[in-house]
Amino acid sequence: MKVFCPSCGASFEADGSKSIMYCGECGTQIPVPVTSPYSIPSSQQEKPKKKKSGLLYGLLVILAVALGIGVYYIFLSPVYITDISMTKSSETVILGDEYTVHYTLFPADYRFDSLTWTSDDETVATVSDGVIKAVGGGSCTVTAESKNGVRQSIRIAVEILPEKLILSQTDIEINVGSTATVSVSFKPENTTDKHCIWESDNKQVATVKDGIITAVSEGSCVITVTSEKGDCSAECRVKVKKPSPDEAVTGTWNAYMNYNPATDRWTRQTDNTLIINSDGTAAEYIGEKSYDFTWKYVETVDGNYTYTFTFNDGSTLDGCYFTYGDAKGTFALYTGQGIIIAFESATITI
């Protein structure tokens, strides 16, 4: 450490062991400062920190908090689903198929929300992320629900299509003018769609509606039943023959028209029933009156038959014959006197 002479300004190194020194130039007495061995040089001493402004610090804190809140609400806060709009409220799904629910969520910018899908009967249909799988016959309700409790549902009906059709008869022989009924059963037995289409490949021979076959004329045809949605069908072969003479007339008949050649007019008949039995007996009921008689037939050279009716009093009605009209279960009885009575079938024994 250097000391300076206050008189002449000379400088020299101080002797740390002495408290007073004398200037070598002018002899002036100079006190020597005492230096502690534990003192810290001024260059190494820590400078006092300046205190920050309290106002600035507070503003910085407020700005940081506001920025954090803004970031949270803009990017991190959840926006919940408020509505679920499905394009359909119900749908039919074929067993084994899948159906994807089409829907829209509101608002469009929802975030941190999702849907949970459930089925109230998983033996009928299961669901995963809106994809429904039909696993069994019946119906169920599939529901989508958000975390916020918003719900929407769709009703699902599972349809079981037939895999095989079985007809009660596969070969039928019937008479002209008569009918026969064929029923159809389905495999599997729990088939839900039993709608079928019936067709005849020759409507001139026989027609069909809902399994009821009507014979039109002699010949053969094939009746086919096909499931509307399933890929299966079944066939019945039909042979239509001319009825035997007793088959042609046996049964109960209701007269509905009468032709009188004298007036050349048709008149409507009422309360006129003709019952022809296969044992050769017959009866006619006109209102409250009844007439018993017998009948027999004779084959003509053209292969047809003429009928003779004999009443109890011995009188006869000869030269009668039957002709079927339009396969509607009707025939006309022509008498030798030119009188024609048209009959409609009530019941026929074949």
Question: What are the pLDDT digits (tens) for 226-243?
Answer: 999 878 999 999 999 987
Query: 89 with 106, same domain?
Result: yes
What pLDDT, on a 0 to 100 scale, did the predictor assign at position 266?
A: 75
Largest CA distance in the chain: 196
What pLDDT, on a 0 to 100 scale, did the predictor assign at position 1?
A: 66
Query: 249 with 236, same domain?
Result: no
What pLDDT, on a 0 to 100 scale, did the predictor assign at position 157?
A: 96
**Which residues of the chain are under the pLDDT cut of 70?**
1, 3, 14-17, 19, 32-53, 65-76, 256, 322-350
What pLDDT, on a 0 to 100 scale, did the predictor assign at position 286?
A: 82
What pLDDT, on a 0 to 100 scale, did the predictor assign at position 74?
A: 56
Q: Which residues contact 117 (CB under 8 A, 6 or more apart)?
A: 127, 128, 129, 130, 142, 143, 144
How many of the other CB atoms lie within 10 Å of CB of 276? 24
> Domain count of the chain?
4
What pLDDT, on a 0 to 100 scale, did the predictor assign at position 242?
A: 82
Domain end (from 159, 186, 220): 159
Whichever domain contains 177, its CATH number is 2.60.40.1080
What pLDDT, on a 0 to 100 scale, did the predictor assign at position 39?
A: 46
Tell me the residue ranges of DSSP E strands in 123-190: 125-128, 131-134, 138-146, 151-159, 164-167, 171-175, 179-181, 184-187
Element (H, E) at 66: helix 54-71
Residue 67 lies in a domain: no
Domain of residue 104 covers 83-159
